[in-house]
Structure 1
Amino acid sequence: MSEIESQPAPSQLRRLPWREDGKTAYLSTGDGSSLLSRMADSMEEGMLTTAEVDMARALSVADEVSSSRAELKMAVRFLAHAVVDAVEVARLRGERLGVAPEAKETAEFLRRCLTR
């Protein structure tokens, strides 16, 4: 078998929620029940849990009438961190769904229309 034939097809690669040596890490997926796959699932869940905690913290600060400008700025940072993590998990999971190119084109069209 040649080197090219022994490499997994791109659809069999799962992008992991961490980097290795500054580079995107991938897992050659099988049935999805490997230790590494379960670790990635757990990390994604942790990212979402942290995002929920950050969101709740930011909302609490925003609801407090006596919050200072510095506290409000920190609340924005918490929210930004929550959004970054949630978007990353959504992207990772979307990649595993194998969304059809037509759906991506439709989503991009809608995004352009809604942001005008």
Structure 2
Amino acid sequence: MFCTAANLRGEFSRLGKIHNAGVDSIRVPKLLGYVKHAVHDDIIGFLSERTPTKESRETLEIIEVGEEPREVGEKWAMKIRQTIDELHEIGAAWGTGSLGNDIIDECDDLWVTGFRNG
């Protein structure tokens, strides 16, 4: 799991919208729950699925994409476009779309993260 405590409203609501839409093809961290303040009962954080990553290759920002086979790069580009289209279909926005928020897992599949500021 991964715990987020910054900019809750944006990211929490967008991940909740994706979760509630039940669209399993959108490869984003799944919303697992929230963290409440022990005294005030306010939501102070949320838990999401931790995205699986390769040990030495985590985001498109640090991967030498030009050194990857062409079909791998095309697969990643297609997945980004498909994810954005699916998000828009359910009325969600990818708030901080950047290469640093494109995570590559151990199967060379792409995950989209960063739903603040959408």
Structure 2 length normalisation: TM-score?
0.28
Which protein has the bigger strand share? 2
Larger radius of gyration: 1
Structure with the larger RCO, 1 or 2 (CA within 8 Å, 6+ apart): 2
